[in-house]
Amino acid sequence: MAIRRSMHAGRGAPADEHAAQELVMFIENTSDLSPDGPSGQGRSVLLNALRKWRKGTYDPARAVTLFGYLVESGAKRYAKEFSSSPREWSTMFTPATRREAAGQLEASFRNSVKNGEYDHVDTRIGAREMSESSAHGWTVEAGRQICFNGQPFAHIAKEGNTSPVEADGFTHLVVNLLNRSGDTPESIYEQHMGHSRRNRR
Q: CA torsion sign, 107 to 112 to 113 to 118?
A: negative
- Three-class secondary structure of residue 151 per DSSP: strand
Between 3-17, 49-63, 184-198, the lowest mean confidence (pLDDT) is in 3-17
- Do 103 and 155 share a structural domain? no
The residue-averaged pLDDT of 59-74 equals 96
Q: Is residue 92 part of a domain?
A: yes
Number of H helices, E strands in the chain: 7, 3
- pLDDT tens by residue, 150-178: 777 887 776 667 666 667 677 777 887 88
pLDDT at position 181, please?
80
Which carries the bigger pLDDT value, residue 160 or residue 121?
121
What is the rounded CA–CA span in Å between residue 10 and residue 144? 33
Domain count, the chain: 2
User: Are residues 193 and 146 part of one domain?
Assistant: yes
Nearest by Cα to 173 from 31, 26, 74:
26
Question: Per-residue pLDDT averaged across 171-188, rounded?
Answer: 80
- 40 falls in which pLDDT band (50, 70, 90)? confident
Residue 121 lies in a domain: no
Is residue 134 predicted with pLDDT exceeding 90?
no
Q: Does residue 27 belong to any structural domain of this protein?
A: yes
